[in-house]
Amino acid sequence: MRTAPRSILPYSIHVPLNVAVAIGVTLLVACIVGALAFSAYRGAQESLATATNEAIEQGASLLDERIGRIFEPADNQLRLLSFSDLARARTLEERLAQQPLARAVLRGNPIVQAVYAGYTDGDFVLFRPIEPAGLASRFNAPAGADLLVQTITQSNAGAVGEYRFYAPDGRLLEHRPLPEYRFDPRQRPWFADASLTERTVLTAPYLFFTTRVPGVTLARRAADGGAVIGLDAEFANLAAQIDALRMTASSELAVVSRDGTVVAHHDPVAMLIPDVGDSFRLAHVDELARPLLAEAFRLDGDGLTGESDHAGSRDWHLVRAPLKPVGSLELVALLAIPEDEMFAEARGIVAEQVLIALLIFAVSVPLGLWLTQRSVVSLRRLADEARAIEAFDFAERPLLRSHIGEIDRLSLAVDRMRKTLKDFLDTSVALGQERDVGTLLETILGTVLETAGARGGAIYRLADVTRIQRVRMRGEADLPAEVERSAGGIIADALEHRETRTEAGDGSLRVAVPLITRDGAVVGAVAVWLPMLQPGDGPRRDARVGFIEALSASAAVAIETRELIDAQKHLLESFIQLIAAAIDAKSPYTGSHCQRVPELAKMMAEAAHASEDEAWRDFNLSGNDREALHIAAWLHDCGKITTPEYVVDKATKLEGIHDRIHEIRMRFEVLKRDARIAALEARLAGEDAQAVAASLDNTLAELDAEFAFVADCNLGGEAMADADIERLRRIGARTWLRTLDDRRGISRDEALLRAPYPQVPLPAEEALLADQPWHRIERPDSERFGPDNPWGFAMEVPHYKYDRGELHNLSVRRGTLTPEDRYIINHHMIQTIMMLERLPFPRHLSKVPEIAGGHHERMDGRGYPRCLRREDMSVLARTMALADVFEALTAADRPYKAPKTLSESVGIMARMVAGQHLDPDLFRLFLQSDIHRRYAERFLDASQIDEVDVEAMLAIAAGATASLDD
């Protein structure tokens, strides 16, 4: 029996509507006002207690960070200069030749005013830009000059001082001898201090003589222990930085050294104190006319120190905050902040909260009384609900509850009717959209049970020919987990007769409906336990059973559809793995590459999806993305199926279908026999036998040596220098005599290649090593890609498809591959993209070609085949690039190389990140998520797994990247 719907809450007590609303509104408003007032009061207390500490700590941290940003680049540049040719230069010409290096340093760091070097013999060279205001007129520089080079050169006649002015293109505009220019760097403190240590030394802050700006000198001894390199770093940028850190309009802020010398102040003019003559010096904090900062300087304590003070009718908060040392320079930040400005916003919030609370109370109470008279709105809302259902609008709405019994029961009835109709619609939508058959069956079963008012039920699916198993169950019905189709019982009976069966008992009506597909196959059953109908319910039983049969038919269609989709996906998956296995089996150099790369790529993608780092905040890996990545990873090298093995496996420079070194060896043998024949003929002609023998021995030794050189060149083991290539050409210029027709017995294709060139009469002299015209095979236009090609390919295409010239191949400077060979190998990416884009992928897999086709791209745009940059590639495409590299480095099944250890592989990848080859964010995720370790434990030999210093690897990548940017 189906029971009447009951209220969720007991509403046995009813009160008049106007009384209930008035009491409720008044109590609610009183609670809200009290909560707002209490919250505002406690919030103001907490704000006043924590605002000061947070503001001070944040300010000190920002100052540390920005000071580090100012001086660390200069220190890095100084370290690099200590290893440069400027430090090793011994003559004036060598030092002047460092002008481009000095320009790069000066342009790369706005705080550096001068770059100079002092040498142990007293020589000195200084590079200074003329761009700052006043320097051009000060030095009377010629028009167009942007760089001044000051030099002192020691000679027997004494020190020679000179000025040289250079144009931006490096041309010398003026050379000006300066007899009065006397300066010995060895007597300067920066030279003496730096000579005694391997670290960078900083001078005390002072006012630069030439530019009249405050700063310090950074100096460092050269790597070879000779010269000392120096940089003048100004504090002007620091002054601008601290001005931006003033917390309020009236705040005072300064940075001073340990002795109180003012290094930076938001008012730069106040820092300068007149000195002897027309010169200036840096002020002491007591000379700033800022007594509050002087008081802050005298606060005790080595760490962050603060106290309150009263001055000028205001309360001030004074802070003394030691900053991180910059080399040997120790700095202190001094702050004076008016408390009334610091906490003005918090006090305003408290006043605003109280005012709002009072206004709410004043308005809400009369409003609530007025609303009491508007209680009829509930009934109007129920009428609107009924009209919405009539218009097929079943959107979810809050349930209208009421202490008025009639309104409450009517609301429950309308809500149940809306939900029932909505369930029908949701089931229909789910049949068309839901991809997971389990979720779909759960939806159908829930609709059946709720709408029919059943105690419980289950859905069964076919396990094998004789059994069905329960896959979904709800409610309290006593339903078996497994049913034998030949056994007794209502479910087995429905399956056997392929029609609905019902059975009454224990106060329930048991209904079993077989699930039959459109082609007549039984795939399962639905079993439902219904409450027995009460007398007077009429023909409802038949209606309920018919409803169950209708939804069961939908369940059968859903199962059939999902099985078809799963079968198609399984077929596609098997086909993908078949192609990948074929590619791996094609060459001994790929091993199980196509099987391991997908595992690593998925690990990376899942880690990025789960990461809470800022870099991955917008990355979300959907189910469609996972499927696209899976297919792309398995097919990322499918283009290799078109790559000839003899190119991929090319072990020597002359190897093709066979190694042509054997032909060249035979030519040398011919030359040696010719030499012996010539010697015999000379002896028969009466020449001196001893001289002839000696000449023959020399010739044979020379030919043996030349062949050994050519054979070694063929191996491609060492890089070839220009001298090696020149020797190769000299050897190739030797000639040998051919007496047989070289166009007999050749293939039709080779005959067509030689046909345009006339045949040389026999006997013919030929070069020992030759690049014949028919060695070069033109590339058809169909294999050339214009800049507007539809695939976006941007890689350079060699003019010739093949160049089999002997000198051309032997002259390869490194390795065994010519540019044409390299393109053939790289061409597999073009084939991969073209093959995948020709496949009719559904919309949710449209990214497969992009993901698979990007694993040889580089972050700096120098990869192939599209020369994409990092911002042009999706995260999954960049993930494929990293996975492809790591698998190749760690693979132990490549016969041409020994497997690298885990730390060696990660180190190489760190340098590739620094060189903008791999994505830095993915590399950081790769290490910090321990993916490298988990992959190694699954796929690497135990001998390859060693410790990886993650922080050191990240530092290599980040440090090298920074140096490249500089």
Lowest mean pLDDT among 121-130, 157-166, 467-476, 583-592: 583-592
Give the per-residue pLDDT at 2. 44
Q: Per-residue pLDDT for 458 more than 50?
A: yes
How many angstroms separate the CA atoms of 594 and 599, rounded?
A: 10
- CA-only gyration radius of the chain, Å: 44
Is residue 873 within 8 A of residue 854, CB to CB? The reply is yes
Closest-CA residue to 221 (of 109, 90, 327, 87): 87
Residues contacting 728, CB < 8 A, separation 6+: 709, 710, 713, 769, 807, 810, 811
Give the per-residue pLDDT at 238. 64
How many angstroms separate the CA atoms of 811 and 710, rounded?
A: 10
Question: DSSP letters along 540-604, please?
Answer: HHHHHHHHHHHHHHHHHHHHHHHHHHHHHHHHHHHHHHHHHHHHHHH-TTTTTHHHHHHHHHHHH
Q: Per-residue pLDDT for 726 more than 90?
A: yes
Q: Per-residue pLDDT for 357 more than 70?
A: no
Is residue 165 within 8 A of residue 173, CB to CB? The reply is yes
Lowest mean pLDDT among 224-238, 317-331, 592-606, 675-689: 317-331
Please state, in angstroms and as integers, the Cα–Cα distance from residue 396 to each residue in 236, 350, 377, 385, 392, following that order: 63, 39, 19, 11, 12
Q: Per-residue pLDDT for 33 more than 70?
A: no
Give the per-residue pLDDT at 292. 75
Q: Per-residue pLDDT for 910 more than 60?
A: yes
pLDDT in tens, 633-689: 888 777 777 777 777 777 787 888 888 889 999 999 999 999 999 999 999 988 898
How many angstroms separate the CA atoms of 365 and 618, rounded?
A: 46
pLDDT band at 441; cut points 50, 70, 90: confident
How many angstroms separate the CA atoms of 463 and 469, rounded?
A: 6
Give the per-residue pLDDT at 537. 46
Give the per-residue pLDDT at 787. 80
**Residue in the structure block whose two tokens are 């599209």:** 866
Comparing 458 with 20, which gets the higher pLDDT? 458
How many angstroms separate the CA atoms of 130 and 166, rounded?
A: 10
| Partners of 254 in the β-ladder | 265, 334
Give the per-residue pLDDT at 834. 80
Give the per-residue pLDDT at 960. 47
- Range among 162-176, 224-238, 824-838 rated most confident: 162-176
Comparing 941 with 413, which gets the higher pLDDT? 941
Q: Per-residue pLDDT for 209 more than 80?
A: no
How many angstroms separate the CA atoms of 660 and 805, rounded?
A: 11
**Rounded mean pLDDT of 130-155?**
84
DSSP-derived pairing of the beta strands 252-257 and 331-338: antiparallel
Is residue 151 within 8 A of residue 164, CB to CB? The reply is yes
How many angstroms separate the CA atoms of 428 and 255, rounded?
A: 72
pLDDT in tens, 750-791: 888 888 889 889 999 999 998 888 888 888 877 787 788 878
Q: Per-residue pLDDT for 573 more than 80?
A: no
Among residues of the chain, what percentage have pLDDT more than 90? Answer: 17
pLDDT in tens, 476-507: 667 887 887 777 788 888 888 888 888 887 77
Q: Per-residue pLDDT for 7 more than 50?
A: no
734-754: b (≥16 Cβ within 10 Å) or e:
bebeeeeeeeeeeeeeeeebe
Give the per-residue pLDDT at 542. 58
- Range among 80-94, 521-535, 821-835 rated most confident: 80-94
How many angstroms separate the CA atoms of 598 and 579, rounded?
A: 14
How many angstroms separate the CA atoms of 688 and 833, rounded?
A: 72
SS3 16: coil
Give the per-residue pLDDT at 508. 77
**Rounded mean pLDDT of 566-583?**
73
Q: Per-residue pLDDT for 701 more than 90?
A: yes
pLDDT in tens, 246-292: 667 777 777 877 777 877 776 666 667 776 655 567 778 777 777 77
pLDDT in tens, 847-869: 989 888 888 889 999 988 888 89
**Rounded mean pLDDT of 288-303?**
73
**Rounded mean pLDDT of 21-25?**
62
Give the per-residue pLDDT at 367. 65
- Range among 98-107, 316-325, 495-504, 585-594 rated most confident: 98-107
Q: Per-residue pLDDT for 694 more than 90?
A: yes
Comparing 385 with 306, which gets the higher pLDDT? 385
- Side-chain-side CA neighbours of 95 within 13 Å: the count stands at 22
Is residue 923 within 8 A of residue 909, CB to CB? The reply is yes
Give the per-residue pLDDT at 55. 62
Give the per-residue pLDDT at 431. 59
Residues contacting 358, CB < 8 A, separation 6+: 33
Based on the number of CB atoms within 10 Å of its own CB, is 294 exposed (0-12), middle (13-18) or buried (19 or more)?
buried
Helices and strands in the chain: count of H runs, count of E runs: 30, 26
Q: Per-residue pLDDT for 184 more than 80?
A: yes
- Range among 83-97, 449-463, 812-826 rated most confident: 83-97
How many angstroms separate the CA atoms of 806 and 547, rounded?
A: 83
pLDDT band at 931; cut points 50, 70, 90: very high
Q: Per-residue pLDDT for 557 more than 50?
A: yes
How many angstroms separate the CA atoms of 813 and 716, rounded?
A: 8
Give the per-residue pLDDT at 309. 72
Comparing 786 with 909, which gets the higher pLDDT? 909
Comparing 34 with 892, which gets the higher pLDDT? 892
Q: Per-residue pLDDT for 846 more than 50?
A: yes
Among residues of the chain, what percentage have pLDDT more than 70? Answer: 75
The CA-CA-CA angle for residues 918, 922, 926, to 5°, reads 110
Q: How far is CA 478 from the centre of its chain?
A: 55
